[in-house]
């Protein structure tokens, strides 16, 4: 079955031996190179937005002005950190970089359905990134967090238009990618690649893109109305003229809560791939995880947005419904976690760097998930909202646990992308720095929330007794930065000096490892791929 | 495999990057200079850079598409269009949701400042758009394999485009009339929704016309991509369906 891969690996040297050509990168339509373009953009956004976090943490390390005495500067960091981390880093890393790299390889296709549209997606994302980065050079930069709530976003002197256009460019990029990848997954699977044989990551990506094409337009509408209100004088969110800011908040979260699952699903898909490979085990109840876990999340994703608005002035019946639906959606999410544990159970686990990240994910997501359950209940939420508890919770559940998936997933795919192996020492060092750093920072963030410290402000004069906690959180953030730099160094080291390895260093059974050389040539497999009747991407022990 | 040597080439295309850069100038930069920083000259310079870039890229893209470098996925656009239409539909869902929430929570409707709307205009516009859906269907029939009729195709496609253009013309006429009655974007909450929704729908008609132009010009020299025609036609029917919602909820309900 996998004998074709030997001839395939001979082909690579002919293809990649022709040397570096800038034109073949900048104007590329090949999914693997588009993936690299996404990767560069997403991690650049991660780095710059991370520097904003370091600035904010340093500002908070002491009472009173520390880095700046201008609170408006803090607001701009806050804006860029949130907007770039979610729209510029997490979503493009997962639905851009990983989806592009894996989908055609895992389903046995030569490329995506519309390669030129794929290139359009990545470049529109880059243009959105450019508009976001202009924040640092324009006068009156946006200062409206990543949420852009009116009336502040309309009344502020900041440039709300660039917020709108960042969202619109990246949104259109996501919709184009969604149309492209849904078509690819449905119509371009290799002969014999039945639905029941698809990798979990493919199912997760499919669900994530279904969410994108349904909900992204809603966010597009919301931010468009925002700029219409601010610059063209409409009254959608103007309470004085009969509009309502609540309309914006509802439309915004109607997309932005599902966006959490756009990030969560592919991230958990990556963790599944890593866990199955490094535990040498089948996926625990593979198709049940797809039907009840992934589709369960998909079914409920559009019904939980108002848990962001419990105290915004929505009617009580709406609050009650969303308490219920929010608690219910933790069932399919919990099921996906049980699937991971079941896959580890009686596996032959090997703790390489990607597997360490997967283990870190399980811990961080557990804390994030457990701190989320009280938030779902409106009576408890009222006391916790707008305190440091909230950033503590969503950094655990979304920011850092999804980042473990992204970083671990990158370590996992690096040997395929480069044909070289990373250094385990550097990989593990980076992981432990990152893992220790995030726990210090966000444990203290949660604790300060319980003490009632309000979030978003650049100073905390009324809470001098919390200064030591702020300092610990800041120390944690420096450890995270150090970890991120070690990770970056280890990737560059891998790409340029790593030991050459064969096409399947992990001994995985999945198509991208068994059938494609590393790195895969144009067309991926050097021929048609046929999937035998009894094949499974997780067929260990057969 | 005979396509082996072909596969070893890295595929490239200039147009995706160029159209993206054009969009950057055309939308965020031009809008930002004009509305945020009040620098109209810089805004027009951005338009001057962006518009030609986008136009040239679209032309280049269409020509490249007709040569069909990536022949292996030819025909899939018909299956992709429904997904795109789902996204488009939710764009209107967002606008209508905001409109209905505003309307149902208003103390009275329509709000003060709204003039008497002409009912004849939307009826005429509906007839024109429905007629254009029929004509594009006729055009599609002319390129079926059994009885291919290139001239008939071009004729019915052109008729569709004329109908679409007339629709936009009437819409522009109506907007001007309302403007003279003092009913503009910022008049009240109804005018905000009215101009946004009709404007968004009009922009979809415009995109449909642009798609048809991208089909018509190559068709004149005999190049027709059937899957592309079918996708554009499905898109046009969608724009037609959305109009029923627009007309029923903004004018008659």
Tell me the per-residue pLDDT of B44-83, one tens digit each, with 9 for 90 and over: 999 999 999 999 999 999 998 888 655 555 688 899 999 9
Q: Hey, of A30, A221, A256, which one would you mutate to test binding to chain B, going by the most B CBs within 10 A of its CB?
A: A221
Q: Write down all domains in chain A, each with its CATH number in brackets.
A: 22-530 (1.20.210.10)
- pLDDT score of B180 more than 70: yes
Q: Clarify whether residues B86 and B204 are in a common domain.
A: yes
- Chain B residue at shortest CA distance from A212: B87
Does the CB of A165 have a partner CB in chain B at under 8 Å? yes
Share of chain B above pLDDT 90, in %: 81
Q: Dig out the tokens for A507 from the structure.
A: 């001994």
Q: Hey, of B27, B40, B83, which one would you mutate to test binding to chain A, going by the most A CBs within 10 A of its CB?
A: B83
Q: How confident is the model at residue B4 (pLDDT cuts 50, 70, 90)?
A: very low
CB–CB contact A110 B7 (8 Å): yes
A499, containing H or E segment: strand A499-500
Does the CB of A144 have a partner CB in chain B at under 8 Å? no
Q: Clarify whether residues B88 and B173 are in a common domain.
A: yes
- With respect to residue B206, please indicate whether it lies within any of the assigned structural domains: yes
CB–CB contact A234 B37 (8 Å): no
Q: How far is residue A143's CA from residue A166's CA, in Å, rounded to a whole number?
A: 14
- Chain B residue at shortest CA distance from A187: B76
Say if the ipTM goes beyond 0.90.
yes
- The closest of B15, B123, B9, B7 to B61, measured between CA atoms, is B15
Q: Dig out the tokens for A56 from the structure.
A: 């904010």
Beta-carbon contacts of residue B76 (< 8 Å; ≥ 6 apart)? A113, A114, A183, A187, A188, B227
Q: What are phi and psi of A144, to 5 degrees?
A: -120, 25
- Chain A residue at shortest CA distance from B189: A235
Q: Clarify whether residues B160 and B44 are in a common domain.
A: no
Residues of chain B with Cβ-Cβ distance to A123 below 8 Å are: 16-17, 19-21
- Chain B residue at shortest CA distance from A249: B98
B50, containing H or E segment: helix B40-67
Tell me which of B27, B57, B73 is where a domain ends. B73
pLDDT at position B73: 55
CB–CB contact A131 B88 (8 Å): no
Nearest to A522 among B9, B86, B111 (CB): B9
Number of structural domains found in chain B = 2
Q: Clarify whether residues B87 and B195 are in a common domain.
A: yes
Q: How far is residue A205's CA from residue A322's CA, in Å, rounded to a whole number?
A: 26
Q: Output the CA torsion sign for A9, A14, A17, A18.
A: negative
Beta-carbon contacts of residue A468 (< 8 Å; ≥ 6 apart)? none
> Taking the model in full, what pTM does it have?
0.95
Q: How far is residue B253's CA from residue B247's CA, in Å, rounded to a whole number?
A: 9
Residue whose tokens read 């919602």: B245
CB–CB contact B76 A251 (8 Å): no
Q: Clarify whether residues B84 and B40 are in a common domain.
A: no
Share of chain B above pLDDT 70, in %: 94
Which residues of chain A register pLDDT less than 50?
1-17
Q: Domain of B235? A: 76-250
DSSP string, A225-274: HHHHHHHH---TT-GGGT--HHHHHHHHHHHHHHHHHHHHHHHHHHHHHH
Q: Clarify whether residues B134 and B187 are in a common domain.
A: yes
CB–CB contact A29 B11 (8 Å): yes
pLDDT at position B68: 67
- pLDDT score of B225 more than 50: yes
Q: How far is residue A410's CA from residue A494's CA, in Å, rounded to a whole number?
A: 12
Q: Hey, of B18, B20, B75, which one would you mutate to test binding to chain A, going by the most A CBs within 10 A of its CB?
A: B20
pLDDT by residue (tens digit) across B126-148? Answer: 999 999 999 999 999 999 877 88
pLDDT by residue (tens digit) across A113-148? Answer: 999 999 999 999 999 999 999 999 999 999 999 999
Q: How confident is the model at residue B9 (pLDDT cuts 50, 70, 90)?
A: confident
- At residue B154's C-alpha, the angle toward residues B148 and B157, to 5°, is 115
pLDDT at position B233: 96
Tell me which of B73, B102, B121 is where a domain ends. B73
- pLDDT score of B3 more than 50: no
CB–CB contact B65 A116 (8 Å): yes
Q: Clarify whether residues B68 and B143 are in a common domain.
A: no
Q: Clarify whether residues B110 and B196 are in a common domain.
A: yes
Q: How far is residue A411's CA from residue A415's CA, in Å, rounded to a whole number?
A: 8
Could you count the other beta carbons within 10 Å of the beta carbon of residue A122?
29
Q: What are phi and psi of A335, to 5 degrees?
A: -60, -40
**B120 class by beta-carbon count within 10 Å (0-12 exposed, 13-18 middle, 19+ buried):** exposed
- With respect to residue B6, please indicate whether it lies within any of the assigned structural domains: no
Read off the CATH number of the domain in which B110 is found: 1.20.120.80
pLDDT at position A413: 97
Q: How far is residue A113's CA from residue A134's CA, in Å, rounded to a whole number?
A: 33
Q: How far is residue B135's CA from residue B139's CA, in Å, rounded to a whole number?
A: 6
Q: Dig out the tokens for B176 from the structure.
A: 């001007």
CB A225 within 8 Å of CB B197: no
Could you count the other beta carbons within 10 Å of the beta carbon of residue B154?
18
pLDDT at position A143: 94
pLDDT at position B72: 52
Does the CB of A19 have a partner CB in chain B at under 8 Å? no
Q: Output the CA torsion sign for B172, B177, B178, B184.
A: positive
Q: Clarify whether residues B88 and B27 are in a common domain.
A: no
From residue A65, alpha-carbon distances to A132, A136, A458 in Å are 26, 21, 8
Q: Clarify whether residues B175 and B157 are in a common domain.
A: yes
Q: Clarify whether residues B211 and B127 are in a common domain.
A: yes
- Chain A residue at shortest CA distance from B96: A221
- The closest of A481, A498, A514 to A52, measured between CA atoms, is A481
- The closest of A279, A276, A320, A308 to A385, measured between CA atoms, is A308
Query: How far A222 CA sits from the closest chain B CA (Å)?
Result: 8
Q: Is the peptide bond before A201 cis (omega within 30 degrees of 0)?
A: no
CB A380 within 8 Å of CB A341: no
- With respect to residue B235, please indicate whether it lies within any of the assigned structural domains: yes
- With respect to residue B4, please indicate whether it lies within any of the assigned structural domains: no
- Chain A residue at shortest CA distance from B112: A241
Altogether, the residues listed in chain A come to a count of: 542
Distance of CA A118 to the CA centre of its chain: 19
pLDDT at position B70: 52
Instruction: Work out how many CB contacts closer than 8 A connect A with B.
Output: 209
Does the CB of A312 have a partner CB in chain B at under 8 Å? no
- At residue B134's C-alpha, the angle toward residues B129 and B139, to 5°, is 120
């Amino acid at each position: 079955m996998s004998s074709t891969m030997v001839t395939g690996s001979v082909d690579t040297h002919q293809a990649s031996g022709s040397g570096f050509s800038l034109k073949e990168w900048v104007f590329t339509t090949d999914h693997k190179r588009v993936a690299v373009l996404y990767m560069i953009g997403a991690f650049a956004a991660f780095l710059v937005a991370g520097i904003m976090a370091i600035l904010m943490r340093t500002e908070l390390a002491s009472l009173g002005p520390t880095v700046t005495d201008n609170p408006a500067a803090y607001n701009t960091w806050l804006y860029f950190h949130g907007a770039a981390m979610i729209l510029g880093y997490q979503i493009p890393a997962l639905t851009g970089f990983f989806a592009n790299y894996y989908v055609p390889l895992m389903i046995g296709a030569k490329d995506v359905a519309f390669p030129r549209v794929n290139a359009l997606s990545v470049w529109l994302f880059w243009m959105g990134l450019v508009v976001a980065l202009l924040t640092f050079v324009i006068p009156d930069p946006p200062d409206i967090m990543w949420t852009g709530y009116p009336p502040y976003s309309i009344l502020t002197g900041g440039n709300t238009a660039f917020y709108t256009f960042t969202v619109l460019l990246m949104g259109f990029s996501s919709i184009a990618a969604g149309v492209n990848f849904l078509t690819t997954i449905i119509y371009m699977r290799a002969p014999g690649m039945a639905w029941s044989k698809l990798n979990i990551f493919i199912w997760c990506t499919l669900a994530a893109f279904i969410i994108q094409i349904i909900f992204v337009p809603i966010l597009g509408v919301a931010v468009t109305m925002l700029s219409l209100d601010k610059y063209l004088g409409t009254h959608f969110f103007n309470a004085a003229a009969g509009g309502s800011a609540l309309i914006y908040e509802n439309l915004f979260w109607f997309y932005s809560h599902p966006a959490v699952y756009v990030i969560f699903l592919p991230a958990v898909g990556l963790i599944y791939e890593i866990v199955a490979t490094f535990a040498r085990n089948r996926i625990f109840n593979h198709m049940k995880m797809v039907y009840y876990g992934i589709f369960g999340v998909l079914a409920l994703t559009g019904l939980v947005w108002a848990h962001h608005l419990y105290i915004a002035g929505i009617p009580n019946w709406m609050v009650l419904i969303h308490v219920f639906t929010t608690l219910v959606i933790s069932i399919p999410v919990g099921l996906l976690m049980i699937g991971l544990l079941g896959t580890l159970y009686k596996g032959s686990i090997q703790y390489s760097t990607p597997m360490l990240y997967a283990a870190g994910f399980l811990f961080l997501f557990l804390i994030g998930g457990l701190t989320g359950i009280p938030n779902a209940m409106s009576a408890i939420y009222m006391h916790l909202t707008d305190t440091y508890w909230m950033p503590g919770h969503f950094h655990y559940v979304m920011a850092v646990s999804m980042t473990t998936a992204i970083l671990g997933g990158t370590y996992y795919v690096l040997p395929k992308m480069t044909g070289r192996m990373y250094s385990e020492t550097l990989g593990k060092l980076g992981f432990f720095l990152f893992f220790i750093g995030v726990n210090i920072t966000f444990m203290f963030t949660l604790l300060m929330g319980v003490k009632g410290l309000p979030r978003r402000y650049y100073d905390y004069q009324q809470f001098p007794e919390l200064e030591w906690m702020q300092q610990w959180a800041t120390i944690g953030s420096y450890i995270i930065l150090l970890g991120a730099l070690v990770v970056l160094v280890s990737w560059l080291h891998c790409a340029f000096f790593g030991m050459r390895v064969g096409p399947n260093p992990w001994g995985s059974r999945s198509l991208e490892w068994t059938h494609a050389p590393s790195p895969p040539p144009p067309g991926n497999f050097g021929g048609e791929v046929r999937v035998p009747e009894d094949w499974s991407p997780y067929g260990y022990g057969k | 495999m005979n396509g082996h040597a072909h596969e070893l080439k890295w595929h490239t295309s200039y147009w995706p990057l160029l159209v993206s850069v054009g969009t950057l100038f055309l939308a965020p930069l031009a809008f930002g200079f004009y509305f945020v920083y009040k620098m109209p000259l810089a805004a027009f310079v951005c338009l001057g850079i962006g518009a030609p870039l986008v136009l040239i890229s679209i032309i280049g893209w269409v020509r490249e598409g007709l040569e069909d470098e990536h022949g292996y996925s030819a025909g899939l656009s018909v299956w992709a269009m429904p997904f795109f239409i789902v996204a488009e539909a939710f764009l209107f869902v967002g606008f209508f949701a905001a409109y209905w929430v505003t309307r149902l929570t208003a103390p009275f409707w329509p709000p003060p400042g709204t003039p008497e709307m002409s009912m004849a205009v939307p009826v005429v516009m509906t007839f024109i758009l429905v007629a254009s859906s029929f004509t594009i269907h006729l055009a599609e029939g002319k390129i079926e394999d059994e009885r291919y009729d290139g001239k008939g195709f071009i004729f019915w496609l052109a008729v569709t485009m004329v109908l679409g253009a007339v629709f936009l013309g009437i819409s522009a006429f109506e907007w001007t009339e309302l403007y003279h009655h003092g009913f503009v974007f910022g008049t009240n909450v109804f005018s905000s929704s009215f101009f946004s929704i009709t404007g968004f729908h009009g922009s979809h008609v415009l995109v449909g016309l642009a798609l048809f132009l991208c089909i018509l010009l190559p068709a004149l020299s005999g190049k027709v991509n059937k899957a592309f025609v079918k996708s554009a036609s499905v898109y046009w029917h969608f724009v037609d369906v959305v109009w029923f919602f627009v007309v029923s909820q903004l004018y008659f309900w």
